[in-house]
Amino acid sequence: MAESNIRLITSEEDRRSYMSHLLNDVEIFEQMLTSDIFEKGVQRIGAEQEMVFVDEAYRPAFIGPEINAALHKDFITTEYARFNIEVNADPMPFSGKCLSGMKKNLSDKIALIIEEAKKYKAEVLFTGILPTIRKADTTQDSITPEPRYNALLENVNAQRGKHYEFNIKGLDELINRDNPSTFGGCMTSLQIHLQVDVDNIINQYNWAQLIAAPTLACATYSPLFLGKRLWHETRIALLKQTTDTRKPYSNTKNEEARVSFGNAWIKDSIVEVYHDDIATYKAFITKEMQENPKEVLDAGQVPKLEALSFHNGTVYRWNRICYGCTEGKPHLRIENRVLPAGPTLEDEIANAAFWLGLMNGMPERYKNLQQKMPFDEVKNNFLKAARLGIEVQFQWLDGQMISAQDLILNELLPIAQAGLEAAQVDTEEANHYLHIIEQRTRTGHTGSRWMLNSYNRLIANSTPDETMIAITAGMLERQKQGDPVHCWTLADAQEAGSWRNRFWHVEQVMTSTLYTVEEDDIVDFATHIMTWKNIGHIPVEKDGKLTGLITKDAIISYAASHQGKDMSQMAVKEIMITDLITATPDMKILEAIELIIINNISCLPVVEAGKLAGIVTEHDFVRISHHLYQELLKNSNVSD
């Protein structure tokens, strides 16, 4: 979907024309499958590397379109968000030193992007989801200004409405109703391509579906999003909900989201994938189709199958069938879209080696899977792997329950080794990269586990924002060093950098875990909450809106002026402060401090779009002062 001449289908004429082209392409494709036209006995591999730009404060850097325009290379494409970009590796034979060849090919191309990004004081990071992304980074302004991306957003909003509920439950829970379609730019991945013979593609595609869960389980790297600890591979849930065009609360027809793992094994022909996609997912965008595939095929040439390839690009299967042509011969590829970007290029090539080896080493007992295992169990394995990562248990062949670690170490790694040997991949390279998978699996030190362990270490003495910055800084530094993730030490608070990265805006220091009371609640309830939670301020709400503030000082002041009066059963609204001074999340901390000093108050409720988002208090500013003073002493020569 890298084309720019894309538009929404706005008329029945557009729809009929598109469907006519699409059905013609499917017919020709089926005809081609029954002939001897497809390339055989040749295996090529390829990759698409997505990455994110971060600025000096480890926040998203919105420079993707500028980088693309400046470099103007065929192998670079923009992505949905302005802070992402993609590099396409050159296809190469699946043999010999192909693994180091893929790494060098990607590394050389990425180096050009890294050098260009330096002009914007930005750096390149590989990660499934950037931990420092904030809601302010996911507005419509964050979308790359190209017709195809605007058309995608416009269609999603038209189909389901702009305020679709977004919900992901993990250790924390993310609920959002603020046009989350723009979340589509928050995910980056490494997509691997493997050319497959038509004669064997049914078995290999089904096998790809089965091994998706274990290959993901040992490669997860996106557990954090908008400050929440969600799935080990939150990309899986995030992309599904972002592109879901079903209307809220109307899923009675068992409709499918546009991101799908699939619902059944392929049984008789690989064209079943296309049949299912065309029947299930309505066309909403189109482009000008230039060829008549029947005429091209009758002339002894290879058709592009433009409509079929285009529609295939609008359906986001985690394992996708891709049609292509090389040196005048058509071929089919399986594209693995499961793997996240990162943690390092070394880890990514190891992930690719593991998957490619598994694909090429499929044992006899895993053929005809449609007769040996219910597909629902395979789909459930995939979702469990995304949620739980390397700690997951799988339902496997013969109803066997097995841990991801045991399955990978005892069965899948030997299969991958045999598959790489069969492809005549350089033995030293194969051993090196599969050893990385073995060590990562044996230790359980995946990218997501590193992030979660770092979070647990940091959060006790840091704000959530400081924690995310330190984790992101740690990811970038370790990525540069190049050691695989199972060798990484945990992130340290000092990696967050200077106070400018940590204490610039109110949202970086505010408390967002809030205890609130209603106007009609009794004062005794409020005082108990203050005592239990050791806090001095409680926001007061009515119908979900901030209406006041009750504080220890207000209670003491009221009691002093009404001596002898029993306050315990009084309504909160009788003594709450209603003349509120508030802040916004993006307010600079200096401005917030000035508000507190000028108005002689002890806290500021933080309000966003009319809703309570947090609270910042004198205590928070004392803590900031402590950090700043420590940093001042550290950077000076003053001794005790």
Q: What is the pLDDT of residue 504?
A: 74
- The arithmetic mean of pLDDT across residues 456-481, rounded, is 92
Averaged pLDDT of the chain: 89
Q: How far apart are CA 492 and CA 462, in angstroms?
A: 11
Q: What is the pLDDT of residue 248?
A: 56
Q: How far apart are the first and last CA of the chain?
A: 62
Residue 225 forms beta bridges with which residues? 228
Question: Would the pLDDT of 595 be above 80?
Answer: yes
Could you give the C-alpha distances from 600 to 152, 581, 597, in angstroms and in order? Answer: 50, 11, 5
DSSP 300: T
Token pair, residue 161, equals 């409405």
- The string of pLDDT tens digits covering residues 212-264 is 999 999 999 999 999 999 999 999 999 888 766 666 555 545 556 778 899 99
Min mean pLDDT across 177-191, 202-216, 316-330, 600-614 is at: 177-191
Question: Would the pLDDT of 183 be above 70?
Answer: yes
Q: Quickly count: other Cβ atoms within 10 Å of residue 514's Cβ.
A: 17
Residue among 532, 544, 539, 473 at smallest CA distance from 511 = 539
Q: Tell me the CATH class for 37-261+318-442.
A: alpha beta
- pLDDT tier for residue 70 given thresholds of 50, 70 and 90: very high
Question: Would the pLDDT of 393 be above 60?
Answer: yes
Could you give the C-alpha distances from 410 to 240, 416, 435, 526, in angstroms and in order? Answer: 32, 11, 13, 57
Question: Would the pLDDT of 416 be above 90?
Answer: yes
Question: Would the pLDDT of 628 be above 60?
Answer: yes
Residues of the chain with CATH 3.10.580.10: 507-631
Q: Which CATH superfamily is domain 507-631 in?
A: CBS-domain (3.10.580.10)
Residues of the chain with CATH 3.30.590.20: 37-261+318-442
Question: Would the pLDDT of 512 be above 90?
Answer: no
- pLDDT tier for residue 117 given thresholds of 50, 70 and 90: very high
Amino acid identity of residue 269, one-letter, is: S
In three-state form (DSSP H/G/I as H, E/B as E, the rest C), the secondary structure along 118-157 is: HCCCCEEECCCECCCCCHHHHCHHHECCCHHHHHHHHHHH
Q: What is the pLDDT of residue 626?
A: 63
Are 114 and 67 spatial neighbours (Cβ–Cβ below 8 Å)? no
Question: Would the pLDDT of 268 be above 80?
Answer: yes
Question: Does a cis peptide bond (omega within 30 degrees of 0) precede residue 343?
Answer: yes
- pLDDT tier for residue 477 given thresholds of 50, 70 and 90: very high
Are 162 and 179 spatial neighbours (Cβ–Cβ below 8 Å)? yes
Question: Would the pLDDT of 432 be above 70?
Answer: yes
Q: How far apart are CA 529 and CA 515, in angstroms?
A: 8
Are 583 and 621 spatial neighbours (Cβ–Cβ below 8 Å)? no
Question: Would the pLDDT of 159 be above 70?
Answer: no
- The string of pLDDT tens digits covering residues 87-109 is 999 999 999 999 999 999 999 99
CA 449 to chain centre: 16
Are 89 and 150 spatial neighbours (Cβ–Cβ below 8 Å)? no
CA atoms within 13 A on the CB side of 393: 4
Q: How far apart are CA 243 and CA 235, in angstroms?
A: 12
Residue among 166, 184, 137 at smallest CA distance from 472 = 137
Q: What is the pLDDT of residue 559?
A: 81
Are 519 and 482 spatial neighbours (Cβ–Cβ below 8 Å)? no
Q: How far apart are CA 518 and CA 520, in angstroms?
A: 5
Q: What is the pLDDT of residue 501?
A: 63
Are 281 and 255 spatial neighbours (Cβ–Cβ below 8 Å)? no
- The arithmetic mean of pLDDT across residues 147-155, rounded, is 71
CA 13 to chain centre: 37
Q: How far apart are CA 85 and CA 53, in angstroms?
A: 8
- Considering Cα of 51, then 56, then 59, then 60, what sign does the dihedral take? negative
- pLDDT tier for residue 1 given thresholds of 50, 70 and 90: very low
Could you give the C-alpha distances from 369 to 49, 71, 462, 562, in angstroms and in order? Answer: 31, 46, 50, 79
- The arithmetic mean of pLDDT across residues 448-467, rounded, is 91
Q: How far apart are CA 541 and CA 573, in angstroms?
A: 10
Question: Would the pLDDT of 151 be above 90?
Answer: no
3-state secondary structure of 402: strand
Are 580 and 548 spatial neighbours (Cβ–Cβ below 8 Å)? yes
Judging by DSSP bridges, how do beta strands 173-176 and 92-93 pair with one another? unpaired
Question: Would the pLDDT of 390 be above 90?
Answer: yes
- The arithmetic mean of pLDDT across residues 505-516, rounded, is 82
Tally of helices (H runs) and strands (E runs) in the chain: 21, 23
Are 73 and 112 spatial neighbours (Cβ–Cβ below 8 Å)? yes
Q: What is the pLDDT of residue 180?
A: 54
Could you give the C-alpha distances from 519 to 52, 523, 538, 601, in angstroms and in order? Answer: 45, 10, 11, 21
Percentages of the chain per state (helix, strand, coil), in multiples of 5 = 50, 20, 35
Q: What is the pLDDT of residue 511?
A: 82
Residue among 85, 89, 71 at smallest CA distance from 125 = 85
